[in-house]
């Protein structure tokens, strides 16, 4: 009886500290959001995206600043009540501020290592205090939306690796991947590689037989991709933007040989140093598992290391790299750390 009473007391204390941690996180994010999301100046390309969104809101498909993407068409709905630039800019910034908060929560959901209440709370605060999210994580860019898709695919992959494999997981993964493909060529590369890792996680003991046990999950992914493709096609057709979209989407593929490719490697110091240090420690365990299992079994550490390597490879191959592209590298680094 005393032992049971002590256990209940400990559980109650942990619950109180958890409530305090979550209770502090919400106002902390709101205060930082007010300071940064609403108070920081807009970048030039943010206004380019905003211009496209405002054109689409008015169905002015004959004019474009830089791109014609489905996500801009969908966000155009938010701007229809407004007719002044300030209101439009703040509305879209608030939307991306909400996406930032969602991405921070998705990091805690996606990470596979710290699943206790205290561990999840610790990961949440570590992610929240990572400065790159408060530099670029709320800007009006497709990278922020790609980060959301990236984290969802990470979380699904870890759950599939752990033995949870409902068909709906693969349909959802295919749908998310299809939307990522529609955003940019870079998003397409991320989606294809991450969906491939998801399929590997289906049968982790049969890495050298990629066809075994993966047909049904593959069909689920194809179904999700088909739904996303229809959604994107209908969106572009109804907005009268299909020709502009195809012309824009085909351009990045011609830039893969540009001289700026691989120059992003010089910015590897930009992610937080401790995050990089601990992530490489995590990748060491992935390498150790790879050697121990002789490449015949997929473990959490190996899967996490592959996520990091894929993110690094896509960043290195980016023909037009910018510092905000590191958003898509910091998330897998945090998972590895």
- Report pLDDT digits (tens) over 69-93: 888 888 888 887 777 778 888 888 9
Segment 140-155 mean pLDDT: 93
What is the rounded radius of gyration, in angstroms, for the C-alpha atoms of the chain? 21
Question: Within a domain: residue 1?
Answer: no
Question: Within a domain: residue 252?
Answer: yes
How many domains would you assign to the chain? 1
Question: Within a domain: residue 97?
Answer: yes
pLDDT band at 257 (very low <50, low <70, confident <90, very high): very low
CA gap 92, 111 in Å, rounded: 29
CA gap 264, 325 in Å, rounded: 9
Question: Within a domain: residue 6?
Answer: no
Contact 195, 173 (CB under 8 A): yes
Q: How far is CA 234 from CA 13, 50, 155, 175, 176, in A?
A: 53, 22, 29, 15, 17
Written as six digits, the tokens of 265 are 């490697």
Question: Within a domain: residue 122?
Answer: yes
Contact 45, 149 (CB under 8 A): no
Question: Within a domain: residue 3?
Answer: no
Question: Within a domain: residue 262?
Answer: yes
Segment 191-220 mean pLDDT: 81
pLDDT, one tens digit per residue, over 36-51 is 888 888 888 888 888 8
CA gap 84, 253 in Å, rounded: 36
The burial class, CB within 10 Å (0-12 / 13-18 / 19+), for 266 is exposed
pLDDT of 229: 94
Segment 255-271 mean pLDDT: 54
Contact 65, 51 (CB under 8 A): yes
Domain residues for the domain of 108 are 12-336
- At residue 69, φ and ψ (nearest 5 deg) are -115, 150
């Amino acid at each position: 009886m005393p032992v049971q009473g002590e256990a209940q007391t400990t559980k109650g204390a942990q619950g109180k500290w958890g409530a305090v941690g979550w209770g502090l996180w919400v106002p902390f994010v709101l205060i930082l959001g007010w300071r940064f999301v609403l108070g920081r100046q807009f970048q030039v390309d943010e206004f380019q995206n905003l211009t496209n969104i405002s054109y689409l809101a008015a169905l002015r498909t004959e004019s474009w600043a830089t791109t014609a993407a489905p996500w801009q068409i969908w966000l155009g709905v938010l701007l229809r009540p407004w007719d002044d630039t300030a209101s439009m800019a703040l509305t879209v910034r608030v939307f991306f501020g909400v996406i930032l908060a969602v991405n921070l929560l998705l990091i805690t959901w996606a990470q596979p290592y710290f699943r206790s209440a205290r561990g999840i709370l610790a990961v949440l605060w570590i992610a929240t205090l990572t400065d790159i999210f408060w530099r670029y994580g709320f800007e009006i860019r497709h990278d922020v939306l790609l980060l959301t898709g990236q984290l969802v695919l990470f979380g699904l992959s870890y759950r599939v690796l752990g033995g949870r494999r409902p068909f709906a997981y693969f349909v959802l993964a295919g749908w998310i991947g299809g939307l990522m493909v529609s955003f940019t060529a870079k998003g397409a590369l991320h989606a294809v590689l991450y969906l491939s890792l998801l399929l590997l996680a289906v049968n982790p003991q049969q890495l050298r037989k990629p066809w075994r046990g993966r047909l049904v999950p593959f069909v689920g992914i194809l179904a999700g991709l088909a739904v996303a493709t229809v959604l994107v096609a209908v969106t572009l057709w109804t907005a009268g933007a299909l020709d502009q979209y195809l012309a824009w989407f085909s351009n990045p593929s011609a830039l893969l040989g540009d001289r700026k490719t691989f120059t992003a490697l010089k910015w590897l110091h930009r992610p937080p140093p401790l995050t990089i240090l601990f992530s490489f420690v995590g990748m060491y365990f992935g390498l150790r598992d790879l050697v121990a299992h002789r490449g015949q079994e997929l473990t959490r550490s190996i899967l996490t290391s592959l996520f990091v390597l894929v993110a690094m490879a896509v960043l290195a191959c980016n023909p037009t790299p910018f510092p905000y592209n590191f958003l898509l590298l910091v998330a897998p680094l945090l998972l590895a750390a």
